[in-house]
Chains A and B, each alone.
Chain A
Amino acid sequence: MRSSKGQWALALAVALIVIAEPAFAQGLPQLDSRTFTPQVVWLVIAFVALYLAMSKIALPRIGEVLAERQAKIDSLLKRAEGLKAEAEAVLMAYDKAIAKARTEAQDVVRKTSDSAAKTAADRHTELGTRLGDEIKAAEARVNDTKNKALATIAPAATDIALAVIERLAGEKIDAQALAPAIDATLKERRA
């Protein structure tokens, strides 16, 4: 393929030269051997000059700049990776802290609600006891008063009965003799 392209170009060149036949009569300048030496001499001079300029000045400079850039990119990438790892660590710590705080909060809530419930229950019991006591005391007082009142009924009834009998019958009766009858009547009424 390589040589076929060269051959194609050469054939085309030859064809064009044939077309420009009068020109060809003067000969191809490329084949004029008098131009060979000066061209080779100056080719060597120019090529060596370019080689020195490129290898001593231009290429090291470009290579340096490219290496510098690569180093910079590498260092920045490394730094970015470090920062990313750091950010991930921070995120992880944050998640951990959040989880811990949540657990703690739940703990506190549970404890508080437990203690509140306990206090409420305690107070409730206490209140119940106190109320029970007060009720009992009140009942005792009521009974006491009632008994006292009941106890005064019998003598009062005896006095009234004696006064009634004295007025009606005109005779005095011993209070002792009346007592059983009054007691019986009071018992009957109270029942």
Chain B
Amino acid sequence: MANPLEQFAVNPLVEIPVAGIDAHFTNSALFMVLAVIAATVFFTASMRGRALVPTRWQSMAEIGYEFIVDMVRDNVGPEGRKYFPFIFTLFMFILFGNLLGLIPYGFTFTSHIIVTFTMAIIVFIGVTLIGIARHGLHFFSFFVPPGVPAVMTPLLVPIEVVSYLSRPVSLSIRLFANMMSGHTMLKVFAGFIVPLGLLAGWAPLAVNVALTGFEFMVAFLQAYVFTVLTCLYLSDAIHLH
């Protein structure tokens, strides 16, 4: 049986060592670039007509735009308008990465913990800096839950701090684990099809068809979850409690 983890292997396509930093252009980097190109083409070419009555492609681009606008407005409020381009980019980068990864023989860069963790830690640091910039030292009152007796504070503050610090971890592991497990499952079931032959091979094939549909949902859902949680963290930083 083929190694189901082989699909996650990162292989350099072009070796670029820049000043001691290993900046090889890998298959992972290729799919990141493809995601950027696909998203850029999708959101610019579809809007070329600037039609008053949108075409199908323009309509899709507009739906994507309004989806994120609504998400930011509902979860962050009017103050979130400033961060809308970042949230939009985050969502589309993850979504296109997830979807491109579903192409057979493709590569899913969102199934790599280092990628998801980098994004999560950027969100975490950015959100924390925004909170401190807006509220100064008052930001740290975030770790004291409101309406709690003073006696309980020494107990609750460490819990709140740990919960806050674990945000980037849970954020990155959720996306990485979902993508990796989904793709591993697809590969495992695919590996059973030919060995089981004409008689029983249909069963894993049917499972794979269903799983592929399910993975499309997961691709969207995980991009959504990552972005919504980013919005909620941002909202916490802006409004504190």
Contact = CB atoms under 8 A, between A and B. Distances in A.
B114 A35 contact: yes
B181 A46 contact: no
Contact of B176 (A2, A3, A30, A35): A30
Interface stretch (B19-27, B128-136, B145-153, B194-202): B19-27
Contact of B66 (A17, A26, A53, A66): A66
A46 B10 contact: no
A61 B45 CA distance: 11
A73 B125 CA distance: 42
Given A34-B22, A65-B62, A5 B174 contact: yes
A53 to B, nearest CB: 4
A63 B50 CA distance: 10
Interface stretch (B32-40, B154-162, B233-241): B32-40
B5 A13 contact: no
A99 interface: no
A23 B114 contact: no
Interface string A26-66: 10111110111111111111110111011101110111111
Contacts of B88: 54, 59
A23 B85 contact: no
A64 B225 CA distance: 28
Interface residues of A toward B: which range? 35 or more
A65 to B, nearest CB: 5
A12 B185 contact: yes
B89 interface: yes
A90 B92 CA distance: 54
Contacts of A20: 1, 3-5, 184, 188
Contacts of B205: none
Contacts of B32: 42-43, 45-47
Interface string B162-206: 000000001001101110110011001000000000000000000
A180 interface: no
B8 interface: yes
B142 interface: no
B65 interface: yes
Contacts of A19: 188
B220 interface: no
Given A10-B181, A30-B114, A72 B5 contact: no
A68 B50 CA distance: 10
Contact of A68 (B52, B84, B118): B52
A2 to B, nearest CB: 7
Interface residues of B, number: 63
A47 B28 CA distance: 13
B5 A35 contact: no
| Interface of chain A: mostly helix, strand, loop or mixed | helix
Given A5-B174, A16-B188, A65-B47, A39 B26 contact: yes
A19 B1 CA distance: 12
Contact of A9 (B1, B89, B178): B178
Contacts of A53: 36, 39-40, 43-44
A39 to B, nearest CB: 5
Contacts of A34: 22
A54 B39 contact: yes
Contacts of B61: 58, 62
B111 interface: yes
Contacts of B225: 2
B173 A10 contact: yes
Given A10-B181, A30-B112, A37-B21, A3 B29 contact: no
A6 interface: yes
Contact of A13 (B1, B22, B180): B180
Nearest to B40: A53
Interface of B: 1, 3-6, 8-10, 12, 21-26, 28-29, 32-33, 35-36, 39-40, 43-44, 47, 50-52, 54, 58, 61-62, 65-66, 84-86, 88-89, 92-93, 109, 111-115, 118-119, 170, 173-174, 176-178, 180-181, 184-185, 188, 225, 229
